Structure 1
């Protein structure tokens, strides 16, 4: 891992840590009625318990949509590779831009995929803590994350054996099934 990659990964982890810490930050007040808020009494006709659960649920949902965006970003690689030859034939002046875009997407594919798995795990934990139940919605999400992790293993094997069509097929197949189950998870939640 080179220095630039370490800086990028460190920055992403630092931002993720700050984001997670924002959910446990203690509110501070400039007035004298803070004791009512801290003891669970109504503060301006609003109860503290609802605010805490809503923040956890909203944060979990935000991470879930972040996972969807990361999966979309990681999946851009295949259509770009498949369509790059026809794009270069149609737009020969844009050849260097298309090639540099392919390189950028190819280099970031692994990191975006890893980010998708990390976000989905944190999303699942936060939603489980909020809801305290493990129903069909949670089972479908867990299966989808498990299939993404298996696909990541085949992705690592594919990275070591770039010419292996079998690893590429397994990587793609597990991801397709994970995306279908993930879409069901999003639709039923």
Structure 2
């Protein structure tokens, strides 16, 4: 159990320090722009409208990816619990590790979900500040955040009544919609 907490804390620390120390962050998306190819076979000046992303957009994108990671990690709880018996029977040597990881996810599910909600709101606010308006992908992201908020409200009710299958099902449906919209937001 302490092993997973140590790994999780280390990854978060490296993630935070890595972006604070680096001078330039490169993203692999070229947004459809192309470089001009000269007659000598070399690539030259950038063609298209070249606008450098400012620090607000860079931080906003980084927080957005942090949101995606937190949402994915929080969403691991249900499929991991459903497949735990199969995993233990297939990989009996890893039984204690699987059980410890399951306990870790169960214990920290609410915290990680709240981190995902907070990061998504912060990501949306920063990107709105940069853009100045709500465009197509921003509206999709806002829809995802709204489903996360609804799922969080139901999750708080679910904590009070853990045996309610109806609340659990609705909670998972809202999270499924939020994940679908988040993936659409990333792809758009």
Superposed pair shares fold, TM > 0.5: yes
Q: Distance in 1 between matches of 2:165 and 2:72?
A: 23
Q: Distance in 2 between matches of 1:73 and 1:56?
A: 25
Q: Distance in 2 between matches of 1:89 and 1:62?
A: 39
Q: Distance in 2 between matches of 1:97 and 1:57?
A: 39
Matches within 5 A, 1:37-52: none
Q: Which residue of 2 aligns with 1:39?
A: none
Whether 1:185 and 2:177 are equivalent positions in the alignment is no
Q: Which residue of 2 aligns with 1:40?
A: none
Between stretches 87-96 and 65-74, larger displacement belongs to: 87-96
- Paired residue secondary structure (1:133): coil
Alpha-carbon shift at residue 90 of structure 1 (Å): 2.4
- Alignment deviations for residues 19-76 of structure 1 (CA, whole Å, 9 cap, x no partner): 9xx8xxxxxxxxxxxxxxxxxxxxxxxxxxx87x610110001110110010111111
Q: Which residue of 2 aligns with 1:120?
A: 120
Alpha-carbon shift at residue 96 of structure 1 (Å): 2.5
Task: Work out the number of aligned pairs and report it.
Answer: 143
Q: Which residue of 1 aligns with 2:107?
A: 107
Matches within 5 A, 1:54-93: 54-93=54-93
Runs (5+) with no aligned partner, structure 2 = 1-8, 21-50
- Alignment deviations for residues 114-173 of structure 1 (CA, whole Å, 9 cap, x no partner): 000100100001011111011222111111101101001111111111111101110000
- Paired residue secondary structure (1:99): helix
TM-score calculated relative to the size of structure 1: 0.70
Runs (5+) with no aligned partner, structure 1 = 1-10, 23-49
Q: Distance in 2 between matches of 1:169 and 1:123?
A: 28
Q: Distance in 2 between matches of 1:170 and 1:124?
A: 25
Q: For the aligned residues, what is the CA RMSD?
A: 2.1
Instruction: Indicate the structure with greater strand content.
Output: 2
Instruction: Indicate the structure with greater helix content.
Output: 1
TM-score calculated relative to the size of structure 2: 0.70
Whether 1:145 and 2:155 are equivalent positions in the alignment is no
- Paired residue secondary structure (2:54): helix
